[in-house]
Amino acid sequence: MIALSTVKEVSNKFKAELKGFYPVEEIRNFVWIIFEHVLGFSKVDLITKDDQVLNEEQQLFCEEALSQLKQHKPIQQIIGNTEFYGLTFQVNEHVLIPRPETEELVQWIIEDNKLTKPNILDIGTGSGCIPICLKKNIAEAEVSAWDISEEALNVAKQNAVLNDTKVNFKLQDVLKSDIESSLQLDVVVSNPPYIRELEKDLMQDNVLEFEPHLALFVSDQDPLIFYRKISQLATKLLKNGGLLYFEINEGLGQETCDLMISLGFKNIQLRKDLFGKDRMVKGQWLV
């Protein structure tokens, strides 16, 4: 048996032992996320119910979470889920944790859409956050999603069930030259690997150690390899007037635009995220 502690005592332990690992505000957020997960607490509950005693199972979870946070494991992986565009998504070591800038990409597609039943393909779907949110917000859309990782697709399929959406998932390596598809699409979207090896030193430990490198990194010699291949593929799959959307490396915005222009895309738009970084690009296929 372990000595049971109150919410306040566990909170103080987190703050004391994580002090050298994270900023104070981030630690406070970790504490709230942990108690929201374990006890269903709001931030107000943390103050008004701080004398509540945790049972043994809850305390063991908190002890393990504290240990994992010291190893820089992402809090989303510790609790097993995260919020994205108002929905809950399961995450683990096989998928990237969805980021706020990707929410902006989803919002852009939804705002642009004027079709009742658009046919949409997400390439490199990971957790499935992009296609599931698009399907949830464009109810009659026909949505498909590809990924090279079977483990990632398993997570994405679980997330589709969790969020009561129908997405057509397929195991597919987009870099293969023999892709055959009968899809006729209104929208192709992708958040492919775009971090160059030379940028690894700028990455935080929690990303480098716990998120899948397959979904993150490209070689310094050809950082636009996925953008080139997906753009080439999109020229065959998009209907006249169809749209191609990318999340991009902030340092390669103009290069990505130039690539799309060279392949025949028109009406190119480069958009900044909320942090003022070049993060998204859109092009239209007109024949």
Q: Provide mean pLDDT across the span 199-223.
A: 65
Cα-trace Rg, the chain: 21
**Residue 67 shares a structural domain with residue 85:** no
Alpha-carbon gap, residue 26 to 168, rounded angstroms: 37
Say what the pLDDT of residue 79 is: 97
Would you say 185 and 121 are in contact if contact means Cβ atoms under 8 Å apart?
A: yes
Would you say 250 and 199 are in contact if contact means Cβ atoms under 8 Å apart?
A: no
Name the β-bridge partners of 170. 146
Mind listing the pLDDT tens digit for each residue in 109-126? 999 999 999 999 999 999
User: Residue 10's closest CA among 30, 22, 1, 21?
Assistant: 30
Strand 142-147 relative to strand 185-190: parallel, antiparallel, unpaired? unpaired
> Strand (E) positions, the chain?
81-84, 87-90, 119-123, 142-147, 168-171, 185-190, 195-196, 217-218, 238-247, 266-272, 278-285
How buried is 260 (Cβ within 10 angstroms: 0-12 exposed, 13-18 middle, 19+ buried)?
A: buried
Structure tokens at 152: 């990632």
Q: Domain boundary residue among 45, 71, 97? A: 71
Q: Give the global pTM.
A: 0.91
Mind listing the pLDDT tens digit for each residue in 23-66? 999 999 999 999 999 999 999 999 999 999 999 999 999 999 99
Indicate the SS3 state at residue 241. Answer: strand
**Residue 44 shares a structural domain with residue 149:** no
Domain assignment present for 2: no
Residue 214 sits in a domain of what CATH number? 3.40.50.150
Say what the pLDDT of residue 180 is: 73
Measured from the Cβ of residue 130, the count of other Cβ atoms closer than 10 Å reads: 31
Residues whose CB falls within 8 Å of the CB of residue 75, separated by 6 or more in sequence, listed in order = 30, 33, 34, 65, 69
Q: Provide mean pLDDT across the span 236-258.
A: 95
Domain count, the chain: 2
Indicate the SS3 state at residue 219. Answer: coil
Say what the pLDDT of residue 205 is: 64
**Residue 27 shares a structural domain with residue 148:** no
Residues whose CB falls within 8 Å of the CB of residue 73, separated by 6 or more in sequence, listed in order = 206, 209, 210
Domain assignment present for 1: no
Say what the pLDDT of residue 1 is: 46
**Residue 93 shares a structural domain with residue 192:** yes
Lowest model confidence (mean pLDDT) among 59-73, 115-129, 155-169, 206-220: 206-220
Domain assignment present for 118: yes
**Residue 59 shares a structural domain with residue 154:** no
Would you say 253 and 284 are in contact if contact means Cβ atoms under 8 Å apart?
A: no
Handedness of CA 152, 210, 79, 131 (dihedral sign): negative
Structure-token match 């291949």, residue found: 229
**Residue 143 shares a structural domain with residue 214:** yes
**Residue 264 shares a structural domain with residue 245:** yes
Domain carrying residue 222: 81-285
Q: Domain boundary residue among 71, 98, 124? A: 71
Average pLDDT, the chain: 91
Q: Provide mean pLDDT across the span 184-205.
A: 77
Lowest model confidence (mean pLDDT) among 63-77, 97-111, 125-139, 170-184: 170-184
Q: Which residues of 213-227 are buried (b: 16+ CB within 10 A; e: fewer)?
A: ebbbbbeeeebbbbb
Structure-token match 């998204």, residue found: 280
User: Residue 34's closest CA among 4, 2, 71, 7?
Assistant: 7
